[in-house]
Chain A
Amino acid sequence: MSDLTRLTAAELADKIQKKDVSAVEVAQAHLDRIAAVDKTVNAFLYVDTERALSAARAVDEDVAAGREPASPLAGVPLALKDVFVMEGAPTTCGSKILEGWSPPYDATVTRKLLEAGVVILGKTNMDEFAMGSSTENSAFGPSRNPWDLDRIPGGSGGGSSASLAAFEAPLAIGTDTGGSIRQPGSVTGTVGVKPTYGGVSRYGLVAFSSSLDQGGPCARTVLDAALLHEVIGGHDPLDSTSIDAPVPPVVAAARDGARGDLSGMRIGIVTEFQGDGYQAGVTAAFVQAVETLKGLGAEVVEVSCPHFDYALPAYYLIAPSEASSNLARFDAMRYGLRTGDDSANSAEQVMALTREAGFGAEVKRRIMIGTYALSSGYYDAYYGQAQKVRTLITQDFEKAFESVDVLISPTTPTTAFRIGERADDPMAMYLADLCTIPANLAGTPAMSVPAGLSDEDGLPVGLQVMAPALAEPRMYKVAAAFEAARDAASGGALIHRVPELEA
């Protein structure tokens, strides 16, 4: 019954509880879909058929026994980004240096998913250590965008976004350090949410840039993302930066928003994120989205955030600096690859040979940039100055949120680019994160919701909604209202216009 893969997570959970369908049938339908299309899409690095079916059976037993569901998503399949550890499932982070490594413990996110009865199908492809915007930096080949197989599905979480758009999974987990949830969401016509920093535990998330990394939900609808957000969010004593506060009520906000009334909501368009450098079709879809928001009763004004122009350079100093430190753990001693251990080479030589063989070009570039930025003599001009710019960006947000409830912009300046197009030009690749980075630097929540299709290439465009820290309900309300209006205006959800993949 292949149409099970077309349903939303909320619909699937409901059908399972009503015994219209079993969780095992749902899991099997998605596993069949993966078997049929993933050779083409390459969204998954690992599929855990046995454990997925056994988790589904446990949900069916609960239903048969009349027990309360473990969560509102019990029995719903999910694709887990290969940067979160799961005991007994290989975790590679898209890197050869971790190929074959089997983690001895579960990440908090993994544990919460399992306890919620969510059926984890497997681990998804990503740019190596989450560094990239296309999945081309994966050591295991790029994932492909189901809208156009010659194009990238975004990155770093391109496996997760591709799995949603290819109907291989209704839910996925991503991590967003500079846009790695939102930009893949934008270019695949799916929903991606970066929660407030500290809103979702980082325990068991392989660190790239610790002060920026944030796990979050990916889905095909705003409500599904909200349901997943409430499952994975919350305080975790194992993560010292975890926020000790209840998860914001995002499901209620999404349901409220779906009623389509945004009167009283003040929305600010970020002045700096429009104009030159934005693809015409992206601008057109964004302008159309603004009209839709006005039609829902929102008051829309323009707000300048002058330091946002400096977010990209500040990010490409701060993130590589933290990465150069975090990735020092890959030293060929305790886990992962070891090369050149021939009894002649010293530990230090083995370390350098292993890191040379195990890391890809982008990871090496970023480690060296971070090493440079942290060197004495350069520290003040680079890393120190970037940290000050970070303060100014946070202040821009604070000032903006004095006059508006949420900020909006295109999620990324272009639609999905072609595989290979930017592979040899690191700076061109970095521009994909232009609009998403400020929220990472400030630690504030932001999400991408499909805005429409670009006129010139028929590819999805994302609308980014940004909110103050812990004010996720506002952005979910706006996104849900917009989604409902957009779907009504074009006769159905955007995602159902994705071309049928040859099975």
Chain B
Amino acid sequence: MPNISRDEVAHLARLARLAVTEDELDTFAGQLDVILQSVARVGEVAAEDIPPTSHAVPLTNVFREDLVRPGLTQQQALAGAPAAEDGRFRVPRILGEEA
């Protein structure tokens, strides 16, 4: 089925928040096409009435007592941050110029 275009790869990269280069677009377009053509083989299997499996073992929700327990301190939580200010994560502006 696939035949994924360079434009489609650029779109995927935008969705995935990857600022890929022009060279990468060329390389990835070819590679993703080969990979997607190959994995499309799953479509050969007649599986209309087969239920999907999302997890290998059946999952049931697990509850625990709603008790306070120790967590990370503010200092520990911020220790790995690329930038912190006034005891908080400092992030770049979140609104666009035009906003």
Q: Which residues of A contact B (CB under 8 A)?
A: 101-105, 196-198, 211-212, 237, 240-241, 243, 307, 310, 313-314, 316-317, 324, 328, 331-338, 341, 343, 345-353, 355-356, 359, 361, 364-365, 367-369, 371-372, 375, 381-382, 384-392, 394, 426-427, 430, 440-444, 469
Residues B50 and A388 in contact, CB atoms below 8 Å apart: yes
With A316-B35, A368-B18: A350-B12 Cβ-Cβ less than 8 Å? no
- Give min CB distance, B47 to chain A, whole Å: 4
Residues A391 and B50 in contact, CB atoms below 8 Å apart: yes
Q: How many A-B residue pairs have CB under 8 A?
A: 184
- Give min CB distance, A25 to chain B, whole Å: 35
Please, which residue of chain B has its CB at the minimum distance from the CB of A443?
Answer: B56
Residues B17 and A348 in contact, CB atoms below 8 Å apart: yes
B68 is an interface residue with CB less than 8 A from chain A:
no
The contact of B93 among A102, A332, A347, by CB within 8 Å, is: A347
Please, which residue of chain B has its CB at the minimum distance from the CB of A87?
Answer: B76
The contact of B17 among A197, A316, A352, A391, by CB within 8 Å, is: A352
B45 is an interface residue with CB less than 8 A from chain A:
yes
With A198-B57, A390-B52, A392-B50: A385-B42 Cβ-Cβ less than 8 Å? yes
In order of increasing CB-CB distance, the 9 nearest A-B pairs are A443-B56, A338-B82, A387-B52, A335-B80, A388-B47, A352-B19, A356-B19, A313-B39, A104-B76
Q: Mark B22-45, 1 if CB is under 8 A from A, else 0.
A: 001001100110111011111111
With A332-B82, A336-B80, A347-B91: A427-B45 Cβ-Cβ less than 8 Å? no
A contact residues around B44 at 8 Å (CB): 310
B contact residues around A394 at 8 Å (CB): 53, 56
A contact residues around B41 at 8 Å (CB): 310, 313
Residues A104 and B77 in contact, CB atoms below 8 Å apart: yes
B contact residues around A336 at 8 Å (CB): 80, 82
B contact residues around A365 at 8 Å (CB): 28, 31-32, 35
Residues B42 and A314 in contact, CB atoms below 8 Å apart: yes
- Give min CB distance, B4 to chain A, whole Å: 8
A364 vs B21: C-alpha distance when bound (angstroms): 12
Residues A387 and B45 in contact, CB atoms below 8 Å apart: no
- Give min CB distance, A264 to chain B, whole Å: 29
With A241-B57, A341-B82: A356-B45 Cβ-Cβ less than 8 Å? no
Residues A386 and B42 in contact, CB atoms below 8 Å apart: yes
A contact residues around B17 at 8 Å (CB): 328, 331, 348, 351-352, 355
